[in-house]
Amino acid sequence: MVVLSKPSPLDDHYASIKTCKPRISVFKGIPSINLRDPKAKTLIIQACQEFGFFKLLNHGVPMETIARLEAEALSFFNLPRSVKDKAGPPNPFGYGTKGIGPNGDVGWIEYLLINTDQNPEISRSAVKDYVMEVKAVAYEVVELMAEGLGIERRDVWSKMLREEESDWCLRLNHYPISQDLQALSGRKMIGFGEHTDPQIISLLKSNNTSGLQICLKDGTWVSVPPDHTSFFVTVGDALQVMTNGRLKSVRHRVMTNSLKPRISMIYFGGPPLSETIRPLPSLMAKGEESLYNEFTWREYKASAYKSRLGDYRLGLFEKA
Ligand code: GA4
* Three-state SS at 138: helix
The pLDDT, as a whole number, for residue 4 is 36
Task: Specify the residue with its C-alpha closest to ligand 1, atom 12.
Answer: 309
Residue 223: count of CB within 10 angstroms of its CB = 17
**Residue 221: CA atoms inside 13 Å, Cβ hemisphere, count?**
16
Q: What is the ipTM of this complex?
A: 0.99
Active site residues: 262
Confidence (pLDDT) at 260 = 87
Best of 110, 266, 305 for a ligand 1 pocket test (most atoms within 8 Å of beta carbon): 305
- How many Å lie between the centroid of ligand 1 and the Cα of residue 314? 14
- Most ligand 1 atoms within 8 A of CB, residue of 112, 114, 171, 172 to mutate: 171
Q: What is the pLDDT of residue 23?
A: 57
User: Which among 266, 268, 256, 176 has a CA at the least distance from the CA of 213?
Assistant: 256
Residue 117 banded pLDDT, cuts 50, 70, 90: confident
Find the 44 Cα to ligand 1 centroid distance in Å: 25
Average of per-residue pLDDT values in the chain: 91
- pLDDT score recorded for residue 53: 98
Is pLDDT of 10 > 90?
no
Beta carbons of 258 and 304 less than 8 angstroms apart: no
Cα separation, 214 vs 302, whole angstroms: 25
**Pick from 77, 48, 305, 73: which is nearest to 195 by CA?**
305
Residue nearest to atom 8 of ligand 1 (CA): 101
Phi, psi for residue 39 in degrees, rounded to 5: -90, 5
For residue range 143-200, list pLDDT tens digits in order.
999 999 999 999 999 999 999 999 999 999 999 987 665 545 656 789 999 999 999 9
Residue 309 alpha carbon to ligand 1 centre in Å: 7
> Is residue 100 lining ligand 1, measured as CB closer than 6 Å?
yes
Looking at the chain, list the stretches that DSSP marks H as alpha helix, in order from N- to C-terminal side: 40-50, 63-77, 81-85, 124-148, 158-162, 179-185, 237-242, 297-304
In percent, the amount of the chain with pLDDT more than 70 equals 90
Angstrom distance (rounded) from CA 107 to CA 55:
25
What is the model's pTM? 0.93
Q: What spacing in Å lies between the alpha carbon of 313 and ligand 1's midpoint? A: 11
If phi > 0 it is left, if psi is from -120 to 50 it is alpha, else beta; for residue 213 that is beta
Per DSSP, the chain holds a count of helices (H) and strands (E) of 8, 15
Task: Give nearest CA residue, ligand 1 atom 18.
Answer: 101
